[in-house]
Every structure is written in structure tokens, then in C-alpha cells.
Structure 1
Amino acid sequence: MSSQESEHSGVNADSTGDVSELLTIRRYLHQHPELAFKEYETSAFLRQELVDHGIAVRDINLDSGVFARITGERQGPHIALRADIDGLPVFEESEYSCHSLNRGYMHACGHDIHMTALLGAAFELQKMKESLRGTVDLIFQPAEEVGKGAQAVMKAGAIEGVQAIAGIHNNPDYLPGQIAIGTEAMMAGCARFAVRLHAEGTHAGYPHKGTGPMEAMATMMLSTQTIVSRNASPFHSAVLSITEVHGGSVWNVVPAEAGFMGTARFFSEEDRVLLRDRLRAQIAGIGAGYGIEADVEWEDVSNPLIGDQHLSAMVADHVGEYASLQRIQPSMAGEDFSDYAHAIPAVFAFIGSNGRPGHHNLHSPKFLGLDECLPTAVRFYVSTAKLLLQHLG
């Protein structure tokens, strides 16, 4: 066990079941990340763990993802707990004691933590099913990283009848044992954009005989960086970032095609529309000035994540029983749990997973989510499930 892990990694056996079982599960999942909608081995592993603990697995028409149900002995409300299961195409460089065995892939967003915590909660809820009044669905959701998994789950009918849903995301900005829940926006809405320039290619020695796209693209990229600073309110948080650039393949040819891609992040519908419309207007204007055509593709990936006001406040009031409640530090990362939150009442929590000075953030190849965060995540799921069943009942 590495130096950053204590003998039991901070996991309390009294509240999270078998310590060694949870740590073994987390290590296996961390070592076997799979990409969105291809989480086949992950799904098989999760399914077997549930079956081994006597938990009924549901047959949902999706190629990946696992869905299970714990039915209490007494009738009552119907709720769901969700964890995401996909990894990222990132080569791991973290200090975690068990590196990914799938070379070039990594749980750089800590979804291995989420899956382990939901399994741990499921094991505990199964033990207390005789005292449960109602039904708890367990959703191990595929494809969160591409922003399409929640919609696929909903289209497959997996949340039909569910009255409320709860989810988590580990957050390395908080220490293990800390939780942030509130009624304000927690995670940003996310959009993807792609700009494609169509010009007249030519010989590099005769640029005047073409309408090359490279200078136009450079101007566009610089101009887009003024959209937030000179159009959005300084009291609003928004980001527009360019992340990919493509153009040319031969040193002495001015290409006919070029383009760039990026993402926009926002916390309100007003800012989403503003960023989209200003991007389109700038690209069209600059393209016209250079005498080239430019297309803008805008795809809304996820909405801002805002939990149900009443349920979030209620759950937050009970966090002190098992963790330290913190103020929300809104995240510019997107989260497709927001799709559930737009459909049914939802509660979401940030679970502290590191908090050390100089820690590496989500999606970094050096990201490290500590085992010590597991007990807090398990307790959140279990406590919130019991609270929701009691409240809705």
C-alpha cells in the first residue's frame, strides 16, 4: 500500500461494510477503465457484484450500464441512486498504487470512486431492506463523459416511475470527509462547437490567387476570446475555450479547408444563447471580411446542474451527521446528471476526494482520488436514500 494510503485508507468498517471488499472493488475498477458506451467488462463486473449480494438486476435495453432494484418490505416511494461508469482516453501518470491496465485509458474523473461508493451503498441498503419503505433503483450509467449517457438511460425507460434521484461527483478541491450540497448551480452547462472554413486553396508562393483560411482562422480564434469578456455580464461566470485546431498538411500549399473546435460553459440559459449567437455572428463577419465561407456547428451537451431546492436543503441539513458540510464552489465541468434533474427532483453532492496543496484536477493524467473519500460517498448515498424515502412517503 502506497504512502498516501493509511492501513484502512480512512474507510470505517462500521458504516461501509467490509473495508477490504470496497478497496478491492475500487482497485479493480480503477485498473480496468473503458470508454463511453463500451463499458462491457465494467458492466459485467458490476452485475456480478450485485448478484453476489442478492440484489436484483434489471434488464434494460442498453449495451452497457447496469440497473438494479432494492425493494423494501413495505410499499412506499420510488427513488433512484446514480453513478457514472465510463473512463477517459488518458494515459495514467498518477501516484495511485494500482494503475490502469488498459493502456491509454484512465479513470481520470474518478468514476471508479462513484461506482465503488454506489456498490457499497447498495450492499448496506440490501441488508436493511426489511426496514425500507419503498423502492431504491441503482443506476450505473454509461457514457457520462460524452454527455449522452443520461439521455440514453431515460430513453430506455430506466427511470420510469422514479420520484426523485440522487448522485455524486468526487471533487479534489475538497478534503475527504467533506461534502458540498446546496440550492445554487453546482456544475456548468456545456456546449461543443466546431467551425469549418471553406476557401480557395493555392500555391504558397501565390497567396493572392486564393482565399486561404489560415489567417481568417487565426483572427476568428483571437476574436472569440472577447465574447465572454466583452459581451457576458461580469457578474456571470462563463467560459469559451478553443481546444482543437486543424488546417493544412503540406508545407508549400495554402489549404482550402481548415477549422477549429472548442467548448462553452455557462450557468444560465441567457448566457448559453448569448455565447452561441455571438460566436456565430463573429465567425460569419470575419469570414465575409476574408472572402471565405464558414460554418458553425453548435451542440448543447448538458444543462447547468441545479438540484431540487427543497430536497437539496433537506439533505444538506443532515450532512453533519456523517460529514463536514462545505459551501459550494461551482464547477465549470459539465455533468449529464443535469438531464435527470430537469426531468425529476434531484439531489447532487460534491464528495471531497483530495484537497491537498498542489493536487491535480479532474481529467489530468496525474489525477488522484484518495480511497479515504469512499466512506463519505457511501454514507451520502445511504443517508439520502433513507431521507428521500421518508420524505416522499
Structure 2
Amino acid sequence: MVVFDPIQARHHLHRTPELSNREYQTSAYVERALRSMGVTIVDAGLETGVIGEITGGSGPTVALRADLDGLPVTEDASHALRSQTQGVMHACGHDLHIASLLGAAAQLSERASELPGSVRLVFQPAEETGHGSDVILSSGVLDDVAAVIGFHNNPNYAPGSVAVGEAMMAGCVRFEVNLRAQGTHGGYPEKGTGPIEALATIVSALQTIVSRNVSAFDSAVLSVTEVHGGDVWNVIPTSAGFSGTVRTFSQATEDRVENRFRALVESLAAGFGLGVDITWERLARPLINNPELLHVLLPQVATVAHVADLQPSMAGEDFADYRAKAPLFFAFVGSNGQPGAADWHSPQYVGLDATIPTAISFYTHSAVATLRNFA
């Protein structure tokens, strides 16, 4: 049996990130590492991503998940681990996730005969696009699992700490609005319909949705993040538009926000004499832990890490989609904790190697405790 070094693996992975659905070398690296441990590779028909299987005694199967992809971000760091792939960076710390699950696989494979069931290792592609979970779900590899367990590193907590609760991460919606107008000369606005003024009015009005439609005891965010319209200084354009995101922790809140969003946009566009097209795309559901698993596994987490106070995140995670197949358990594992540490998706993001031992213990202890619970 080859001795596996998760820290060394993390260093390699951080230097060689790949974008969503292009994780070919990352997948090959993971597969080689699993084979060196004697872990069975499951042919799930994936173009990128890897599924491993550690077969223990008779009993249920529990899935452990890590994500593979980097981001189109240029790393702004001078340390030795700096990405060697131009314009691509593990700015969300998925290299920490991969190395930790490989480290857990090494430990669990050595004690496979003691396991009261089997452990399925899911190395998922394309988490950052919001569609990688769909690939895993459609492959069928989660059809027979009793639970799915995962984590995300969190630079707001120090290494050695874990934060966990019921509501972990928000659901994520991407919206896009396109206003259709009658273009005209900038000196003769009365001969057309102006989408720029309408856009400004609509964007301003949308800011009232959360403040006047969502309870102060609930949480929601609506952010307009991109605006476009016109490309000639003296021409009123034929179209203008904007896009952005909505984050909520419940489907009921998302539905309420969507209904008000559509009503405001459509009525205001009509008031300006414009046509309008609206796209409302759900990229991730709210990530809510299963209460039974939370009750069973929280004491296990406390044996391997300091349990920190949870601050739920408004970022999205497609791990939530796996709730369609099995109960979920998900945690934040501290990865930096220094004052002013950059957050996910920043060119200055730094995840520390010290994250990995705690993450490995989180995986292994959670897997064994879950198998025993369902057995």
C-alpha cells in the first residue's frame, strides 16, 4: 500500500487548477491516487469527475463528496503554491476538499474490514457552474446511498474549527432582464421608447422587494450586478438589460421574491412602453442539514474539532441538490481565520494546509458514525 501525503497532494492540485467540466488532469490524478490505495473505481460514465468505492461489511452505503473545479481568477499571491495555470485559480479552495477526501479515502480503505457498510467517494466536477450535481445525480451513483456528507472550507474560521447547524448556505438564483425598445436619434427621444430610463427606474424599484416583502426574521438578498445598454453616444438604443442574483434560505421566500420581481419588472416596462424578457434560473437550492443527521453527527464533530458558532453563508452550493436522493450533512471547516483574510472567489484568497487534518477527521468520523446509525 502506497503511503498517501494529502499535504503534498494539495500543493500539486493548487498549482494545477482546471475550470468546470475541464478537470481532466485533476480527475486523472484523483483516479491514480485512489487506485494506489486499492480503492475500486466505479465507471459512472463521467467525462470529468471520479467515483470510488470502499467496500466494508454488510450494511448501508454512505457517500462522501468533494468538488474538483477551479475558477477563472488570476491568483494574486507570491507564495510557492501560486497557480501555474494562467488565469485559473483554486479561489474557492476545492484543492483542500480534494486532498482531504483523498486523505480520508486512505484512512478508510485501511480499515475497510471494520466498516459497518460501504463508503462511496464522489469527486464532483463543475460545482462552480451550478450544474455538476446534475451530472452526478443522472449517473445513478447516489441512488442507493443512505446519506451524503460534505464540507466547504471557510476562511472566516481558523484551522481546527468546524461550524455546523441546520441552515448552512443560501439558495442561489441568477436573473436576467432584457428590455425591448424603439430606438431613435438621441436628439429626437419622442420618436422612440427609451430603455435606459426604464432600466434605471426598475433597478431602483427592485431594491424595495426585500425591504418591503421579506420578514425581518427571514433572510434574502437581491443584487443587480451587471447593466448594459447602448453603444453609441447619440443613439437611443433598441434594448437594454441587467442581470444579478437572489439568495434565500427557503423556497417560500424565493417564490415571494420572484413573484414581486416579475410583477415590478413587467408593470414598469409596460409603463415605459417597452417589451421585456425575464430569465429566472435557479443554480442552487438552500443547503439545509438533515435534523436527524445533525443530531447524530454533531457530537462526532466535537470530538475532532472546536465547534465554532455558525454564520450561515449567502453563497450557494449545489451539494444541496443531493437532498433529492438522500439526507445531507454538511459543515464549514476553518481554513484561515486571520483578521482580514480574503473570502472565497478573491484573487487574495489563501487556504491553509492546516485545514486538511481536521477535514480528513470530519470525513472519516462522520462516515463511520453515519454507517453505524443507519445500520
**Do residues 126 (structure 1) and 138 (structure 2) align?**
no
Q: Deviations over 1:319-354 (max 9, x none)?
A: 222110122210000111111124311111110111
**Do residues 224 (structure 1) and 220 (structure 2) align?**
no
Distance in 2 (CA, whole Å) between partners of 1:244 and 1:28 is 35
Match of 1:14 in 2: none
Contact 1:187 1:330 in 2 (8 A): yes
**Do residues 93 (structure 1) and 76 (structure 2) align?**
yes
5 Å-filtered alignment, 1:64-213, equals 64-72=48-56, 74-94=57-77, 96-182=79-165, 184-213=166-195
Distance in 2 (CA, whole Å) between partners of 1:71 and 1:347 is 21
Distance in 2 (CA, whole Å) between partners of 1:383 and 1:209 is 70
Secondary structure of 2:169's match? coil
Q: 1:352 aligns with which of 325, 334, 342?
A: 334
Q: 2:360 aligns with which of 378, 385, 388?
A: 378
Q: 2:224 aligns with which of 231, 238, 242?
A: 242
Distance in 2 (CA, whole Å) between partners of 1:18 and 1:94 is 33
CA apart distance, 1:173: 1.1
Contact 1:307 1:341 in 2 (8 A): no
CA apart distance, 1:142: 0.7
CA apart distance, 1:94: 3.4
Match of 1:28 in 2: 12
Distance in 1 (CA, whole Å) between partners of 2:120 and 2:22 is 22
**Do residues 261 (structure 1) and 272 (structure 2) align?**
no
Cα RMSD, aligned residues only: 1.5
Q: Which amino acid is 1:139 matched to?
A: V
CA apart distance, 1:392: 1.0
Which aligned segments of 4 or more residues in structure 1 are displaced greater than 6 angstroms? 17-20
Contact 1:181 1:350 in 2 (8 A): yes
Contact 2:150 2:331 in 1 (8 A): yes
CA apart distance, 1:269: 1.5
Distance in 1 (CA, whole Å) between partners of 2:4 and 2:35 is 19
- Residue correspondences, number: 375
Contact 2:2 2:36 in 1 (8 A): no
Q: Deviations over 1:270-305 (max 9, x none)?
A: 210111111111111111121111111101111111
Q: Which amino acid is 2:21 matched to?
A: F
Gaps of 5+ in 2: none
CA apart distance, 1:95: 5.3
CA apart distance, 1:97: 2.9
Distance in 2 (CA, whole Å) between partners of 1:85 and 1:279 is 34
Contact 1:172 1:369 in 2 (8 A): yes
**Do residues 50 (structure 1) and 34 (structure 2) align?**
yes
Contact 2:157 2:337 in 1 (8 A): yes
Using the size of structure 2 for normalisation, the TM-score is 0.97
**Do residues 318 (structure 1) and 282 (structure 2) align?**
no
Gaps of 5+ in 1: 1-16
Q: Which amino acid is 1:165 matched to?
A: V
CA apart distance, 1:44: 0.9
In structure 2, relative to structure 1, the CA distance for the partners of 1:82 and 1:44 (3 Å cut) is: same
Match of 1:4 in 2: none
Contact 2:4 2:106 in 1 (8 A): no
CA apart distance, 1:174: 0.8
Distance in 1 (CA, whole Å) between partners of 2:101 and 2:162 is 16
